Amino acid sequence: MIAALECVYYLSFQEQGAFLEKVAKEHAGKILLLSGPIVDYRRHFSHKRLMHEFTTLGFTPLKFYNLSVYWYPPSSRIIAGLIKLPLGHTLLDWIPESMIYQRLYALRAPKRGSDIR
C-alpha cells in the first residue's frame, strides 16, 4: 500500500501526473491511498480532474471517502458542527457534493503489462 496523504496537492499538475504515472508503473496492482482538498482552484485537486487522471493512467477507483466539509458559507458551519457530534461523521456521505472539502481515494494501480498512457 502506498499512502499520499495531504501532500500531493502541493505539486503542480505536471508533477501530480508524474507521481501517479510513477506509482502506476512501479507499483503494479498495489493500493494507493490519496487524500486532499477537492476544490477547483488552480493548484488544488478537483474530483472530476482526479477521476479523469486516475482512469487515464489505468487506476481502478475502489472507493472514496468524504473527510470534511467547507466552513463557508455560514450554512456549512451548521453541518460542520453536526459532523463533530458523536457518529456525526456518518453524515459525510449524505451531504451535497458542493459542501465536501476533503476526500480520501482508495485506488488500485494497474497490473503489470496494462496500458499506461
In a domain, 25, yes or no: yes
pTM across the whole model: 0.78
Confidence band, pLDDT 50/70/90 cuts, at residue 113: low
In a domain, 38, yes or no: yes
In a domain, 84, yes or no: yes
Give Cβ neighbours of residue 58 (< 8 Å, ≥ 6 apart).
Answer: 24, 109, 110, 114, 115, 116
CATH number at residue 20: 3.40.50.150
In a domain, 66, yes or no: yes
CA distance 51 to 59: 9
In a domain, 117, yes or no: no
Range of the domain at 55: 2-108
pLDDT in tens, 56-93: 999 999 999 888 887 666 666 666 777 777 777 777 77
Residue 32: which H helix or E strand, with range? strand 31-37
Contact between residue 102 and residue 37 where contact means Cβ atoms under 8 Å apart? yes
| Cell 496537492 -> residue | 9
CA distance 8 to 13: 10
In a domain, 116, yes or no: no
pLDDT of residue 1: 75
